[in-house]
Amino acid sequence: MSFNGLAQYASYLGDRGDLTRVRCRVSPLLEITEIADRLVKNGGRALFFEDTGTAFPLLINAFASDSRMAGAMGRSSLDDAGEEILSLIESVSEARSLSGKLSKLPQMMQLLRLAPVRKRGRGECQEVVMTDPDLDTLPVLKCWPHDAGRFITLPLVHTRHPATGKTNLGMYRMQVMGKDVTGMHWHRHKTGARHFEAWKKRGERMPVTVTLGGDPVYTYAATAPLPEDMSEYLLAAFLRRRRITLVRCLTNDLWVPADSDIVIEGYVDPAEPPVTEGPFGDHTGFYSLADLYPRFHVTCITHRRNAVYPATVVGVPPMEDAWMGKATEKIFFAPIKLAIAPEIRELHMPVAGVAHNLVIVSIEKRYPGQGLKVLSALFGAGQMMLSKYIIVVSSNVSVTDYPAVAEALFGNVRFDTDLLLTRGPLDVLDHSSDRFSMGGKMGIDATVKLPEERTGEYHSLPLFPLTDEDITSDIITGMRTMAGHSLPLAVLAIRKPPQGLDMRHFATSLPSSLTTAGTVIVAVDEGADADDPGMVTWLVTGNSDPTRDLYRLDSGALFIDATSKTNSLPAFPREWPNVVCSDRETIDLVDRRWSEYGIGEFVTSPSLRLLPLVRPGKASVESVSNTSL
Residues annotated as catalytic (active site), given as ranges: 282
Bridge-based pairing state of the strands 19-25 and 287-288? unpaired
Nearest to 568 by CA among 544, 534, 538: 544
Nearest to 145 by CA among 43, 281, 282, 313: 281
Whole-number Å distance between alpha carbons of 576 and 508: 25
List of residues 6+ apart from 15 with CB closer than 8 A: none
Residues 6+ apart with CB under 8 A from 454: none
Tell me which H or E stretch contains 235. helix 232-240
CA distance 461 to 410: 7
**Dihedral, CA of residue 590, residue 593, residue 598 and residue 601, to nearest 10:** 60
Chain center to CA of 214:
22
- Distance in Å from the first CA to the final CA of the chain: 58
- Output the CA–CA distances (angstroms, integers) from residue 26 to 4, 176, 623, in the order listed: 26, 20, 37
Q: Give me the amino acid identity at 497.
A: P
CA distance 150 to 94: 51
* Dist CA 24 CA 28 (whole Å): 13
Length, in residues, of the chain: 629
Q: How far apart are alpha carbons 544 and 304 in whole angstroms?
A: 47
Q: How far is CA 305 from CA 21, 129, 261, in A?
A: 19, 10, 8
Kindly compute the dihedral angle of the four CA atoms of residues 383, 386, 391, 396, in this order, to the nearest 10 degrees: -10
Measured from the Cβ of residue 562, the count of other Cβ atoms closer than 10 Å reads 23
